[in-house]
Chains A and B, each alone.
Chain A
Amino acid sequence: DAGITQSPRHKVTETGTPVTLRCHQTENHRYMYWYRQDPGHGLRLIHYSYGVKDTDKGEVSDGYSVSRSKTEDFLLTLESATSSQTSVYFCAISGGRGETQYFGPGTRLLVL
Chain B
Amino acid sequence: KQEVTQIPAALSVPEGENLVLNCSFTDSAIYNLQWFRQDPGKGLTSLLLIQSSQREQTSGRLNASLDKSSGRSTLYIAASQPGDSATYLCAVVDSNYQLIWGAGTKLIIKP
Interface SS majority for chain A: loop
CB contact between A98 and one of B44, B97, B103 (< 8 Å): that residue: B97
Q: Contacts A90-B43, A98-B31; is A42 near B103 (CB within 8 Å)?
A: yes
CB contact between A45 and one of B41, B99, B102 (< 8 Å): that residue: B99
Q: Contacts A43-B101, A58-B98; is A98 near B43 (CB within 8 Å)?
A: no
Within the complex, what minimum Cβ distance (angstroms) separates A81 from chain B? Answer: 22
Q: Do the beta carbons of A106 and B49 come within 8 Å of each other?
A: no
Q: Contacts A43-B89, A98-B32, A98-B93; is A103 near B43 (CB within 8 Å)?
A: yes
Q: Do the beta carbons of A42 and B102 come within 8 Å of each other?
A: yes
Cα A5 to Cα B91 in complex, Å, equals 23
Between A and B, 10 residue pairs with Cβ closer than 8 Å are A42-B103, A44-B101, A45-B98, A58-B98, A98-B31, A99-B49, A100-B34, A100-B49, A101-B44, A101-B99
Interface of B toward A, CB cutoff 8 Å: 31-32, 34, 36, 41-46, 49, 89, 91, 93, 97-99, 101-104
